[in-house]
Amino acid sequence: MFDYPVFLQLRGKCCVVVGSGPVGMRKTRGLLAVGAKVRLISPTLEDWRCGENIEPVRRTFRAGDLDGARLVFAATGDNASDRAVAAEARRIGVPVCLAALPEEGDFSLPAILRRGDLAVAVATAGGSPALAAEVRDLLADLLPGSWSVVVDIATALRRRKPLDAGGAAYGRETLRRLLDGQLVALLEARDAANVDRLLQQVCGPSCTLAALGISLPERNP
């Protein structure tokens, strides 16, 4: 059976992480990165681990700690404790991930490659997170950092000329022509003049980076 892939919008939502070891802190950082509010529960919680958007709970897990949560991560390092967290999560109907027992959880986390607003997720149904990470790293070589600007351009074009139901093919054709015109390579080279020429050739004479409200990032020193 396959897992059902989905991207959740968690900005401002409460998520609970039980456990402040390396795995628990990885989950916490990932949640904070997308704007979630994290209730972090651990008897060994250190002061430096508490900050904006973190609600520290310095004790062991208790019933009631999951109230208001949208997602729960059990990462205590102890299977019995993680199962107790999972039982409480299911009692109140909140999806739970058991870090050490992915097959017993409601969901698992993929390995993520991010290029700005582009996110590529790689998963193995919890079978081998290490393999998922290896595949993600292989994809990183195929998708250089300039793909973040490709996403910005595609988004701006979509907003500039919304497509109706009959225009979907035209939209994909436009993107294909830009990619076939070496858009990625031009962006990698920070060649704004030729990016503008390509945009004008494919999308019309008024279409430039400036018209789309996009500026190319500076080269890394």
Q: According to the model, what pLDDT value does residue 125 have?
A: 83
- Of the three residues 93, 109, 125, the one that is the final residue of a domain is 109
Query: Is residue 33 assigned to a domain?
Result: yes
Q: Which among 172, 173, 160, 171 has a CA at the least distance from the CA of 209?
A: 160
Same domain, 1 and 67: yes
Same domain, 93 and 47: yes
Q: According to the model, what pLDDT value does residue 42 have?
A: 96
**Dist CA 203 CA 149 (whole Å):** 17
Same domain, 102 and 155: no
Query: Is residue 44 assigned to a domain?
Result: yes
Same domain, 10 and 100: yes
Same domain, 23 and 94: yes
Average pLDDT, the chain: 91
Domain that holds residue 43: 1-109
CATH number, domain at 12? 3.40.50.720
Q: Structurally, how many domains does the chain consist of?
A: 2
Is the per-residue pLDDT at 37 higher than 70? yes
pTM for the whole thing?
0.83
Query: Is residue 59 assigned to a domain?
Result: yes
Same domain, 103 and 17: yes
**Dist CA 187 CA 73 (whole Å):** 39
pLDDT tens digit sequence for 203-220: 999 999 999 999 998 765
- Residues of the chain with pLDDT > 90: what percent? 81
Same domain, 4 and 69: yes
